[in-house]
Amino acid sequence: MAKATRPNTPLRTKRTQVIPDPRTCALNVLDRLDISRETLDAVLDDLAPMTMGLSRLDRGLFNGLVFGVLRWRLRLDAVVAAYADRPIKKIAPPILNILRLGLFQLQFMDRIPASAAVNTSVNLARTQKAAKAAGFVNALLRNVLRDPDRFRLPDAADSPIDHVAITKSIPHWLAARWIDRMGLAETERLCDAVNTIPPITVRCNGLKNSPAELAFALTTQTEKIAINDAIPGVINLIHPRCPVSEMQAFVDGRFAVQDGGAQLVSLLLAPLPGEVVLDACAGLGGKTTHLAQIMRNQGSIVAMDSIPAKLIRLEKESRRLGATIIRTRQADLNRPFTADDLPRFDRVLLDAPCSGLGVLRRNPDAKWSSRQGDISRFASRQVRFLDHLAPLVKAHGVLVFAVCSMEPEENAAVIKTFLKNHPNFAILGRQSNNEHAVRPFLGEDGFLRTAPHIHHMDGFFAARLRRIY
């Protein structure tokens, strides 16, 4: 943990070299998210030069502040509203982010003294060149300390939606959806899982080493290693001692960062060595390279995406992992393919764009950027993508549809619509070489589902379909 008394203005050495401060860096990230439509991952990548000089302890504080404020933002805002002398909408966004940072330290980071949380927040406000704002921040935070009972959480009996939304810090519309579908108790368990800091989950690259060999190589670089015996190659790194990208085993391509739920999707597709496979929305290649690994680097994989920059990064990742059977292709799935565009494939994976509501524990910014209307919009696009991919599947070939969402409209409803439009496809039962891994996650309806509060991994849905003629 960084020393709590460290000022929040960047320090300069005699050579005027800027020494980054974790709180200032955190504020810059939060402010950037407010004014752009970028994801947290994109902002962190873009602002990486700003944080490169942080020490290991300061980097931990920086990450804790950014992810913590995003996880608990609605609850922090409710505290601000209870103590502010003006409506929260009247507070300038940078000042509101400073208040969120200060309150998060006061209420969730017990190793930081209250005085340090207040003083560093006031210093941050002064960097905004607004003396009144600094006074406002100082007064509000000190009032929270002096009169903690002014803020009260909503009562679950009186208003379950308000109670869950504010207590667990999720949007009201999402609280209402989940309570309606799962009930109050299970919704609270799901929210608790979403707000828990997840371990770093990696996939052992079987092309280069075994899980036991990888675990041994990582013993000095993380405090604890947990091998998941149920899913081949899944390893959790708890409290790593350095960034993953700096680990020699990562540089050597011995593993990739990937959640267990995502790994199950590739195991469900179960491609065989020598087959011709299409990863239709390959993105950065997490599942693509896993497919190559399952195929023992024998056969052919076409990795398709509409964004060239992603394909460039996918090619780099393939080289790092030693997956040589992958070739990339830019394509827009919003448009149907002509007869000569692509060959027919033994297996096709559509890891479709979705609301992402199953991965909120790793992407807390999505809580506040997502809208209820996104769900139906994504579902329509998913059906369209499936329609365009269906002709590319060989007779008796396999098509897997997957999303990192647990919402019914993006799950079974999509498959129901697709099967209605394509009677030559049917849900494929428990038939794969990796059934020992996927079987526990397959329901009676044949669909694969994972959930953070049940399986301690991200929330995924996947359906495996066979083209019967």
Angle at 23 between CA 52 and CA 36, to 5 degrees: 80
The runs of H, that is alpha helices, within 200-244 are 211-218
Report helix, strand or coil for 355: coil
Bridge partners for 256 per DSSP: 203
Say which residues have a Cβ less than 8 Å from residue 191's Cβ, sequence separation at least 6. Answer: 164, 168, 169, 170, 178
Among candidate residues 297, 285, 298, the one with its CA nearest the CA of residue 328? 285
Query: Could you tell me the end-to-end alpha-carbon distance of the chain, in angstroms, rounded to an integer?
Result: 61
Residue 345 region by backbone torsions, left for phi larger than 0, else alpha for psi between -120 and 50, else beta:
beta
Amino acid at 341: D
* φ/ψ of residue 399, rounded to 5: -125, 125
DSSP state of 297: T
Mind telling me the catalytic residues? 404
Q: Are 298 and 325 in contact (CB under 8 A)?
A: yes
Q: Are 426 and 419 in contact (CB under 8 A)?
A: yes
Among candidate residues 23, 41, 94, the one with its CA nearest the CA of residue 365? 41
Containing 262, the helix (H) or strand (E) segment is helix 260-269
Amino acid at 401: F
Cα(246)–Cα(240) distance, rounded to whole angstroms?
11
The structure tokens listed for 340 are 């000569």
**Does the CA dihedral 234-237-238-244 come out positive or negative?**
negative
Bridge partners for 68 per DSSP: none
